[in-house]
């Protein structure tokens, strides 16, 4: 018997909803979930958190408006279980209690401000279930968010071996370093050095250099992959599990960092809410590939959002 669930992932830059039917446990561990609704809005909840330490009132209001629509959607579809996970921005903010109270009023459930470790494990579950059978393990899964990037190493059979979260998301790196339009050579160099230090630290915790396959998650990765493929419109079916070389990632990164925001907005696959931070996100991916020695990355459209949904299976408690 299937279970209908609603998963909400509230990150630093975007908020997303997945309403899905989980398969009967008797169908086996590789059975996919069935999407009923996937939605994403850019709410920039983490606006200025790195500088002020607080969630901005207007950012909380943008998130509330999105959640009102999400609640109507999953109620209409009859979701039996609901889980909302909030990530990097709400871990860092002094006024996180204000945000949690708003969510509980709006959804009727409290958000779980998950640890970096739990965020990484949910991302790994969402990404690895459904990978092509020929994808070689162990996997290094990287989830490049707005405020942080999660690094997880593991296998299908054994699960997560090690995980760590680092504060090098695309919004955080943009606000910290990339102020020009386009950013200057010095700004890019400073961002790259900052990212490299964090990546090297992460790779001392997780054995990413021993992984056989790099799997990249979230909008920065999927946008870079869509650009590398030359897509004329954002097509999740063509992006999901596409493999792109390091050389292609480096070329796209250099191009994005050399463009103005208006020029990035003109790229056919670019979400308007991502145009001002995509250069930093691409740079994070590029540096990870360099420091981990990865010749290519496999993009996944399935990530922490799918992991949250899977966590609602009756067998998962």
What range defines the domain where residue 282 resides?
Answer: 132-300
Same domain? For 235 and 294 the reply is yes
Average pLDDT over residues 61-86: 96
Tokens 């909302």 found at: 84
pLDDT digits (tens, 9 = 90+) for 88-140: 667 778 898 899 999 999 999 999 988 777 877 888 888 988 788 888 999 99
Residue ending a domain, choose from 86, 116, 146: 116
Average pLDDT, the chain: 92
Same domain? For 228 and 295 the reply is yes
pLDDT at residue 41 tops 80: yes
DSSP structure string for 35-88: EEEEEEEE--TTTTHHHHSS--HHHHHHHHHHHHHHHHHHHHHT-SEEEEEE-H
Same domain? For 141 and 54 the reply is no
Domain count, the chain: 2
Task: Tell me how far CA of residue 109 lies from CA of 43, 96, 114, 313, in angstroms.
Answer: 20, 15, 15, 17
**CA neighbor of 180 nearest in space, from 261, 126, 243, 241:** 261
Here the tokens at position 180 are: 């020009």
Give dist(CA 252, CA 229) in Å, integer.
10
Give dist(CA 186, CA 210) in Å, integer.
32
DSSP 226: H
Structural domain includes residue 307: no
Same domain? For 24 and 171 the reply is no
Same domain? For 147 and 265 the reply is yes
- C-alpha triplet 289, 178, 259: angle, nearest 5°: 80
> To the nearest whole percent, how much of the chain has pLDDT over 70?
96
Greater confidence, 30 or 42?
42
Same domain? For 285 and 163 the reply is yes
pLDDT at residue 316 tops 70: no
Task: Tell me how far CA of residue 191 lies from CA of 36, 127, 185, 250, 277, in angstroms.
Answer: 39, 27, 10, 15, 12
Same domain? For 107 and 255 the reply is no
Alpha helices in the chain (DSSP H): 49-52, 57-77, 88-92, 96-107, 116-128, 170-176, 185-205, 219-228, 236-239, 246-258, 261-265, 278-292, 304-311
Structural domain includes residue 123: no
Q: What is the pLDDT of residue 158?
A: 85
Same domain? For 106 and 206 the reply is no
Q: What is the pLDDT of residue 26?
A: 62
Structural domain includes residue 308: no
**CA neighbor of 313 nearest in space, from 129, 184, 146:** 129
Q: How many CB atoms lie within 10 A of CB 47?
A: 21
Same domain? For 111 and 208 the reply is no
Confidence of residue 273 (pLDDT cuts 50, 70, 90): confident
Q: What is the pLDDT of residue 88?
A: 62
**CA neighbor of 153 nearest in space, from 170, 190, 261, 143:** 143
Confidence of residue 31 (pLDDT cuts 50, 70, 90): low
Which CATH number characterizes residue 42's domain? Answer: 3.30.420.40
Which CATH number characterizes residue 144's domain? Answer: 3.30.420.150
Confidence of residue 11 (pLDDT cuts 50, 70, 90): confident
Weakest mean pLDDT among 63-77, 83-97, 281-295: 83-97
Residue ending a domain, choose from 116, 140, 175: 116
Structural domain includes residue 165: yes
Average pLDDT over residues 282-297: 98
Q: What is the pLDDT of residue 29?
A: 52
Same domain? For 90 and 151 the reply is no
Same domain? For 272 and 296 the reply is yes
């Amino acid at each position: 018997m299937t279970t209908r669930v609603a998963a909400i992932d509230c990150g630093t830059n975007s908020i997303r909803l997945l309403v899905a039917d989980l398969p009967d446990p008797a169908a086996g561990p590789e059975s996919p979930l069935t999407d009923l609704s996937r939605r994403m809005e850019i709410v920039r909840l983490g606006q200025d958190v790195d500088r002020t330490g607080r969630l901005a009132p207007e950012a909380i209001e943008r998130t509330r408006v999105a959640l009102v629509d999400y609640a109507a959607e999953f109620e209409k579809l009859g979701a039996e279980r609901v889980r909302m996970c909030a990530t990097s921005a709400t871990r860092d903010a002094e006024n996180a209690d204000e945000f949690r109270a708003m969510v509980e009023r709006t959804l009727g459930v409290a958000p779980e401000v998950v640890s970096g470790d739990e965020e990484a494990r949910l991302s790994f579950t969402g990404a690895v279930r459904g990978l092509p059978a020929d994808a070689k393990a162990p996997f290094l899964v990287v989830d490049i968010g707005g405020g942080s990037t999660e690094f997880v190493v593991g296998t299908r059979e054994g699960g997560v071996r090690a995980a760590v979260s680092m504060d090098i998301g695309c919004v955080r790196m943009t606000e910290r370093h990339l102020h020009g339009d386009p950013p200057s050579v010095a700004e890019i160099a400073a961002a790259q050095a900052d990212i490299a230090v964090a990546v090297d630290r992460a790779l001392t915790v997780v054995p990413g250099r021993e992984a056989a396959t790099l799997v990249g998650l979230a909008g920065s990765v999927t946008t870079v992959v869509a650009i590398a493929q030359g897509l004329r419109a954002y097509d999740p079916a063509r992006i999901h599990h596409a493999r792109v070389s390091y050389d292609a990632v480096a070329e796209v990164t250099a191009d994005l960092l050399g463009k103005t925001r208006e020029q990035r907005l003109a790229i056919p696959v670019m979400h308007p809410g991502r145009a001002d931070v995509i250069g930093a996100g691409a740079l994070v991916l590029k540096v990870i590939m360099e420091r981990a020695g990865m010749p290519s990355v496999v993009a996944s459209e399935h990530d922490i959002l799918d992991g949250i949904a899977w966590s609602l299976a009756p067998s998962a408690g």
